[in-house]
Amino acid sequence: MRNIALKIEYDGTDFVGSQWQNNGRSVQGELEGAWQQLTQEQRRIQLAGRTDAGVHARGQVANVRTETAHDLPTIQRGLTAILPEDVAVLEAWEVGPDFHARHTAIRRDYRFLIDNGPVASPLLRRHAVHVGGKLQAEAVHEAMQVLLGTHDFAAFAGAGQAGSTVRTCYMASCQVIAAWQQPLIAIDIAANAFLRHMVRNIVGTLLPVGGNRRGNDDLAAVLASRDRRRAGRTAPAHGLYLMSVSYP
């Protein structure tokens, strides 16, 4: 029995989420269907991170246990040829028998993109959240530094979150980039794991900071409160990307 890891990219617009659901298309469902078509095996494919409907991925990771004799290039090319155009397998590699895409992961990197142009770009409407008012990326970056380290992130947890809300944040930054000369603000957060809606709730709290409607120290107060009611609204899903997953 082999254990194969896959690096996956997808546009989450038309998916109900990454995990299999019975109410629409899922990334996992498409992958498992493509795997069965390629190898004639019916296998469960494990994903590193659960992304909601509309959330995209540049570096989602999955693993599948298999008896197929296909080599790695054939697996990568074959799956991508079978999969629909909004999901692709970028890489395939052999991993040890104990590797599990979710349980073995030690870090996940997310990026949230904001279209900060005066007029929303139609080309970015599915891939960045438009905020027309000028945002101060420097103020957002400064406020985010309080997230670094190990904290109880309960204030940024989505409804239905179970278990511990303590997480360790390794990186938090905000910078201005551009696409087609349209100004974009990229908010990057990396942690050992994330709570449900955690990044989107953090972004929703940061937007008033960038718009000078909340002070830079407000994020620290919200974090310390552990009270979801103190945080901002949940930012829309289509600005969020799972960029990468790291392993020991």
**124-140 pLDDT, tens digit each:** 999 999 999 999 999 99
- Burial class from Cβ neighbours inside 10 Å (0-12, 13-18, 19+) for residue 155 reads buried
Enumerate the active-site residues.
Answer: 52
Q: Last residue of some domain: 61, 94, 127? A: 94
Same domain, 26 and 128: no
Residue 121 forms part of a structural domain? yes
pLDDT of residue 217: 83
Q: Is residue 36 part of a domain?
A: yes
**Domain span including residue 216:** 107-246
Can you give the pLDDT at residue 121? Answer: 95
Answer with the one of 94, 118, 137 that is the final residue of a domain: 94
Residue 215 has pLDDT above 80, yes or no: no
Same domain, 140 and 236: yes
Do 117 and 240 reside in the same domain of the chain? Answer: yes
Sequence-distant (6+) residues with CB within 8 A of 213 are: none
What is the number of structural domains in the chain? 2
Residue 101 covered by a domain: no
**Rounded CA separation 238/57 (Å):** 11
The reply to whether 111 and 227 lie within a common domain is: yes
- Quick one: which of 5, 13, 9 has its CA closest to 57? 9
pLDDT at residue 107 is higher than 80: yes
> Can you tell me the distance from the alpha carbon of 208 to that of 140, in angstroms, rounded to the nearest whole number?
9
Q: Is residue 102 part of a domain?
A: no
Percent residues over pLDDT 90 in the chain: 90
Q: Is residue 99 part of a domain?
A: no
179 has pLDDT over 90? no
Same domain, 83 and 138: no
Query: Are residues 125 and 215 part of one domain?
Result: yes
Q: CA–CA separation, 2 vs 142, rounded Å?
A: 46
The span from the first CA to the last CA of the chain, in angstroms, equals 22
Taking CA 36 as the corner, what is the angle to CA 46 and CA 34, rounded to the nearest 5 degrees?
A: 75
pTM, two decimal places: 0.95
146 and 209 share one domain? yes
Does 100 fall in a domain? no
Q: Are residues 201 and 146 in the same domain?
A: yes
Residue 228 and residue 142 share a domain? yes
Query: What is the per-residue pLDDT across 14-38, written as a single tens digit (0 to 9) for each?
Result: 999 999 888 899 999 999 999 999 9
The Cα–Cα gap between 24 and 15 comes to 7
Please check whether residues 6 and 82 belong to one and the same domain.
Answer: yes
Quick check: is 46 in a domain? yes
For position 51, what pLDDT does the model report?
Answer: 95
103/65 Cα distance (integer angstroms): 15
Output the domain CATH number for residue 228.
3.30.70.660
The pLDDT assigned to 42 comes to: 96
Q: Which residues partner with 45 through β-bridges?
A: none
pLDDT tier, 99 (very low <50, low <70, confident <90, very high otherwise): very high
Among 51, 66, 94, the domain boundary falls at 94
169-172 long-range contacts, Cβ below 8 Å, gap at least 24?
170/107, 171/109, 172/144, 172/145, 172/147, 172/148
Domain identity same for 79 and 148: no
Write down the mean pLDDT value for the chain.
95
Judge if 116 and 174 occupy the same domain.
Answer: yes
